[in-house]
A = this chain, B = another copy of it.
């Protein structure tokens, strides 16, 4: 599995993905699931992927090579974010057309999902989740985040902390804590992490960073969080129930 989270707040966009891929517990490897298409001053698009790696890598290749729509349209020339989400949907449908029957014959589900966030000059910052069927939904101010992969472990902390008005640095910490919860409780997501930060209207990527096991900040965050959680539990008074 995988864990990827995208957060769209007033100040901008956070994208965070783990890098573990596995085909059974015997085949574990590190792959990038966070891809960036950027032309500074004109567009920044960030795509994160979950699901069957052969499918998601094929989708990324189609998006790069313009084979999704049959007209040479790529994420570098598509005119709007809505059209970009449709293009990702078209790419996954094309791979479904090519591969799904053969996968089914081998008893393998056609599993793939995508988070696509970004902004194109003159238009607003948007964040979409594209399903395996090629359809998609969009993050809204009421629910300013989307997740794919192993989503449940990391959801409670986001539900407690994040709103559209949360600052970008606070949202970043929330994303890292959500990932920390997932890493702690599920071995199918793993370090290193890929992080991208896009400040709204910047039209260039603010930060792209690989967070490794040795990353001092992430290491400190995990320790501070562990201690803070323990203190928060400690602060809860005992019930006066007797037994």
Contact = CB atoms under 8 A, between A and B. Distances in A.
Interface residues of A, number: 47
A181 B153 CA distance: 10
Interface stretch (A80-88, A113-121, A154-162): A154-162
Given A228-B231, A228-B232, A238 B159 contact: no
A107 interface: no
B161 A185 contact: no
A133 interface: no
Given A170-B233, A224-B236, A230-B161, A199 B243 contact: yes
B160 A229 contact: yes
A160 B236 contact: no
Interface of A: 150, 152-157, 159-161, 169-170, 172-174, 177, 181-182, 184-186, 197, 199, 206-207, 209, 217, 220-221, 224-226, 228-233, 235-243
Given A153-B155, A225-B232, 15 more contacts: A156-B157, A156-B182, A159-B185, A160-B184, A160-B229, A161-B230, A220-B237, A224-B232, A224-B235, A224-B237, A228-B228, A228-B231, A228-B232, A229-B232, A232-B232
